[in-house]
């Protein structure tokens, strides 16, 4: 997807900021530890931080974290939920931090929205020598049969190419590189996945999936029809029809080092 095509999707989250904060999952602690394992120090930038789902995990791990988020509504939710964290308006393409001021830049479900031809040099600028860039994605574990059926019912707008473990590896392998022929700022990628889960009901899982960009940009009638299909499936699927269940997930990580 070209940058001008990505923009409406990336801009769709603001009106759903409260629902995003309520329903989106956090990230597996093991995934965050792996993302930071090669960092030369404790200073971490959560870039495109949204409502703070990754920021909260970093703060709980006692990282020296600063969050940067371009959408005012998302930033408001982040500041409300994590008032002790320094949170700034800004974007991957214009980071409001000094040169070499962080040891790691992490992006939770956000790296694919960045224009890496511009964001790559900016991220490299704020990283200390040997610093780490890591993208994290929460994906549905479709090795579980009912999750695979859910993906088929939802369709590609709900469960896209980055949203299941096997397809995630291919879809994100070049996420750290510019779309153009600009100079790469980072070394060879490493990828890893870590088990994760989220307690949901049929209704709350529908609410979670309704915060995905592919759903948010749908025309209202199409969106309601898609969510209706998903709700009907969850209400008749034995694994999800009665009360709470754990949604099987993985927190997947792409990690590179600054050249």
Q: Is 1 exposed, middle or buried (0-12, 13-18, 19+ CB in 10 A)?
A: exposed
Quick one: pLDDT at residue 179? 85
Q: Which residue's structure tokens are 């070394």? A: 187
pTM of the model: 0.94
What are 184-229's pLDDT values in tens digits? 889 999 999 999 999 999 999 999 999 999 999 999 999 999 999 9
Quick one: pLDDT at residue 211? 96
C-alpha to C-alpha distance for 117 and 19, rounded to whole angstroms: 31
**Residue 224, helix vs strand vs coil:** helix
Quick one: pLDDT at residue 5? 58
Backbone dihedral region of 253: left (phi > 0), alpha (psi from -120 to 50 degrees) or beta? beta
CB neighbour list of residue 60: distance below 8 Å, 6 or more residues apart? none
C-alpha to C-alpha distance for 205 and 186, rounded to whole angstroms: 36
Where the chain has pLDDT below 50, the residues are none
């Amino acid at each position: 997807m070209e940058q001008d095509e990505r923009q409406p999707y990336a801009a769709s989250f603001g009106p759903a900021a409260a629902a995003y904060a309520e329903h989106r999952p956090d990230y597996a602690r093991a995934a965050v530890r792996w993302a930071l394992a090669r960092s030369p120090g404790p200073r971490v930038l959560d870039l495109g931080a949204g409502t703070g789902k990754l920021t909260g995990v970093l703060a709980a791990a006692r990282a020296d974290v600063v969050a940067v988020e371009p959408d005012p509504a998302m930033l408001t939710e982040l500041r409300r939920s994590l008032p002790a964290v320094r949170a700034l308006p800004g974007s991957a393409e214009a980071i409001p931090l000094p040169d070499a001021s962080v040891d790691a830049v992490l992006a939770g479900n956000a790296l694919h929205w960045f224009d890496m031809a511009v964001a790559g040099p900016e991220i490299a600028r704020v990283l200390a020598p040997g610093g780490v860039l890591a993208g994290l994605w929460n994906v549905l574990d479709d090795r579980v049969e009912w999750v695979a059926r859910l993906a088929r019912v939802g369709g590609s707008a709900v469960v896209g190419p980055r949203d299941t473990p096997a397809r995630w590896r291919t879809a994100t392998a070049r996420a750290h590189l510019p779309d153009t022929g600009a100079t790469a700022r980072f070394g060879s990628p490493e990828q890893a996945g870590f088990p994760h889960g989220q307690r949901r009901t049929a209704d709350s899982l529908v609410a979670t999936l309704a915060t995905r960009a592919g759903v948010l940009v749908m025309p209202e009638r199409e969106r309601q029809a898609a969510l209706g299909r998903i709700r009907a499936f969850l209400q008749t699927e034995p694994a999800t029809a009665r009360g709470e269940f754990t949604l099987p997930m993985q927190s997947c990580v792409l990690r590179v080092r600054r050249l």
